[in-house]
Structure 1
C-alpha cells in the first residue's frame, strides 16, 4: 500500500532544495509519496533573497500580519493535506496553520510531527512567553524530527517520548561547492583577487545573513584590532540583510575591507578559497558545514545566540570558540591563529574530518528512517 506524507514549509530557501529533492527520491524508493507544500517569505525573510521554487511542490498563498518586528503567517494549505498518513510542519509559534493541525491531531486526526530546534536558541528575556507556549505545544505532537542531538536532548527534557524523536543531524548539500572548489584554476583565483582588490595573504571571510544576531559591529571593531596586529589582514564581507547598509558604509572606509554582497555558486567558493578563516562572532548555524567542506576554520564566540548546529564545532579541533567576552579577546584569538601555522593546520585537518560526518545524504537517510518509523508506529496502533 502506497503511503503519503506532507511536509509544510514557510518557504523554500535555496539551501533546502537539494535536501527535498533527495528526500523525495529516497521516500519514493520506500513506497512513500512526499507532498511538499510551501508559501512565500515574509518581508523580513525576503531581504535574504534566498527563496526558490520546486516545480513538483505545491506553492500556496501566504498571508502575513505584522506586529512590530513580529510576524504571523497563515498558509492556505488545508486542501493539500487531506488523506495524508503523516504531516510534518516547522515548529514555529508564528505559523497559524500549525495550531489548526495540532488541534485536529489531538482530536484524533492525522498524526502531526514537528521539525525544528525544540526551542528558540536566540531567545531573550522578551521571548519568555513565546518560549513557554513553544514548550507547552512541543510535547503535543505525534513525532519529532529534531535538528540534531542538542535539540533532541532539549525535547526529551520537556518530557517527550525519546523513542518518537528522530535526530536528523541538519545538513546542507556541499557536494556542488566542493566540485566547484576542485575545479578552480590559479587564473580564477587571480582574477577574483584583482576584481575585489585583495593583496594580503591573511584574508578572512564573513559570509551569511546580516542582522543583529550576527554581531557585525563587534566583528568590524575586532577587524581593526586584527589589522593592527597582522598588517596584511583583509576581510571579505559577503551577505545581505537589514545590517548590510551599515556594513557597506563601514567597509567603504578601508581598502582592506571588501563588501561583496550576497554570493552563490562559484563566487561563494572563491570567497572561501582566498580566505584562511571564517569569522562569525555572532550566531552560527549551517555555515559551519561550509567551513568544514571548504576547510576554512570557523572562529566564533561562546556567548553568541547560536543555532543547534554549533554542536558540530569541536573547539580547537575543527574550529575555535572564544570564551572571552570582549572584542579584544576575539581579535587576539584570530591574530594568533593567523600567525601560528601548526595550530591553523590542525584545525584545517579537523574540518576535513568533520565534513565526512555531517552530510546531506546522511540527513536524508535519518529523516527517511524517521518517517518510516513514525508510519510504522501509527499502523501498529
Structure 2
C-alpha cells in the first residue's frame, strides 16, 4: 500500500530544490506527497501525480512571519496520512502545534530540521533570554516527534546534547539533485568554454566565480579587496552571477580597483550556467555558505570561504585544504596570499577539483539524502 506523506511548509513554493528532492522521493520510494503551504505556487514548481501542492489561508498573516493554517488539521483528519513531515521554526505555529495534534490523532510526525541554530542571535540582554525561551520551545516540540531528520551530523549531535534520543534522529545530508547537476555539465563542450572565455577575455586567466544573491552577508567585497592587493591581479578574473542590493556597490568597487571583473546579473538558464561553471577554476563565497557548495562541487569547483559561525549545515561538506579552503574571518591578507600562491597552482586546483567531485558522489549525493529520509518516514523503495 502506497504511503501518503503530508509535508507542511509555509514557504514551500519558493524552495525549488525541495520540489526536486520530493519529486525524486516519490519516484524512488513507494509514497505520495501532499504539500500544504501558505504561499503562491510559483511557475517553476512542478507538481506531479504523486506530488501535489495545496495553498491554504494563513489566519495569522497580519502578524508578521507567524503562520497558522487550520486546513492542515482538517487534512490530517480527513486524509489520514501515514506520516506528517514538518519544519520546526518559532514562527511556524502550525508546524509546532503538530507536536500535540499528531499525538492526539496518533499520526506519525517527523520533524525536518537543521538541528542546531546556525543564524546570528543576540548574546546579551533581554533578547538573549527570549532567545533561550524560543529555542527551548522548539526543542520541546521536536522531541515529541516520532522521528527527526537533520541536515547534518552536527545537527544530530546538538539534539542529542539537548536530551533527545539519538535512535530516532536520522541524518539526511541536505543537498540538491546532484545526479541532475552532474549530468548538466556533460553536454558542455571545450568549444563552448573557449567561446565564453573569448567573449570575456578570460584566456590565460585564473577564473574565480561567485554565484548567488548579492547581499551584504555574502561578503564578496572581502574577495574584491584581496584581489585588489594581489601581485598577480592582471592574471586573475572574477565572474559574478546574481543580483541584489549590493550589485552596484561591489561592481563599482571592482571598477575603481581596475580589476578584471564581470558582473553578469541573474542567470536562470541551466545550460548557460553550466558553461560558466565549467569555465571557472575556483568558486568563492566569503560570507555564509549554503547549498551553493553542492552546485560548485558538482562542477568540480573547489570552494573558498571564511570561518564564520553562521554557515548553513552544508558547510560540513567542505574539508579545508582538500576540496576547498577556509580563511580566517575578515582576513584579507590570507585571501591575497592564496590568490598569489595556491590559487595559481594547477596541481592544487586539479587535486581539489577531484576531491570536490568525490564529495558530491559520496557524502552529498541525493541518494544519501533520500535513503535516510525514507528510513525516517518509514517508506520502502520501489521494486
Tell me the TM-score normalized by structure 2. 0.84
Size of the aligned set, in residue pairs, is 362
2:65 to 65, 71, 89: 71
How far does the alpha carbon of each residue in 1:117-143 deviate from its partner, in whole angstroms, 9 at most, with x for none? 013212222674144443343323222
Residue in 2 that maps onto 1:81: 76
Q: Provide closer, same or farther for how the CA distance between residues 161 and 207 of structure 1 changes in structure 2, counting only shifts above 3 A.
A: same
Structure 2: how far apart are the matches of 1:170 and 1:308?
8
Residue in 1 that maps onto 2:114: 117
Structure 2: how far apart are the matches of 1:93 and 1:171?
24
Structure 2: how far apart are the matches of 1:14 and 1:3?
23
Q: Provide closer, same or farther for how the CA distance between residues 72 and 199 of structure 1 changes in structure 2, counting only shifts above 3 A.
A: farther
Structure 2: how far apart are the matches of 1:242 and 1:92?
27
Q: Secondary structure at the match of 1:166?
A: strand
Structure 2: how far apart are the matches of 1:143 and 1:276?
41
Q: Secondary structure at the match of 2:186?
A: helix
Structure 2: how far apart are the matches of 1:50 and 1:206?
26
- In 2, are the aligned partners of 1:38 and 1:57 still within 8 Å (CA)? no
Q: Secondary structure at the match of 2:287?
A: coil
Deviation at 1:304, TM superposition (A): 5.0
* Greater CA drift, 266-275 or 159-168: 266-275
Structure 2: where are the runs of 5+ without partners? none
Deviation at 1:278, TM superposition (A): 0.5
How far does the alpha carbon of each residue in 1:187-217 deviate from its partner, in whole angstroms, 9 at most, with x for none? 3223333444545511100112333332233
Q: Provide closer, same or farther for how the CA distance between residues 94 and 331 of structure 1 changes in structure 2, counting only shifts above 3 A.
A: farther
- In 2, are the aligned partners of 1:39 and 1:60 still within 8 Å (CA)? yes
Residue in 2 that maps onto 1:370: 376
Structure 2: how far apart are the matches of 1:74 and 1:245?
39
Residue in 1 that maps onto 2:5: 5
- In 2, are the aligned partners of 1:283 and 1:305 still within 8 Å (CA)? yes
Structure 1: how far apart are the matches of 2:43 and 2:204?
31
Residue in 1 that maps onto 2:45: 52
How far does the alpha carbon of each residue in 1:278-302 deviate from its partner, in whole angstroms, 9 at most, with x for none? 0111111222222221111111111
Q: Report matched runs for 1:208-357 at 5 Å.
A: 208-226=212-230, 228-251=231-254, 253=256, 254=258, 256-264=260-268, 265-323=270-328, 325-357=330-362
Please state if 1:34 is matched with 2:22.
no
Tell me the TM-score normalized by structure 1. 0.84
Structure 1: where are the runs of 5+ without partners? 375-381
Residue in 2 that maps onto 1:140: 144
Please state if 1:90 is matched with 2:103.
no
Q: Secondary structure at the match of 1:231?
A: helix
Deviation at 1:175, TM superposition (A): 2.6
Residue in 2 that maps onto 1:14: 16
Deviation at 1:248, TM superposition (A): 4.3
Residue in 1 that maps onto 2:194: 190
Deviation at 1:25, TM superposition (A): 2.0
Structure 1: how far apart are the matches of 2:243 and 2:38?
22
Residue in 2 that maps onto 1:174: 178
Structure 1: how far apart are the matches of 2:334 and 2:210?
18
How far does the alpha carbon of each residue in 1:159-179 deviate from its partner, in whole angstroms, 9 at most, with x for none? 111111111111211333322
Deviation at 1:53, TM superposition (A): 4.1
How far does the alpha carbon of each residue in 1:299-351 deviate from its partner, in whole angstroms, 9 at most, with x for none? 11112521111111111111111236422222322332222233222212211
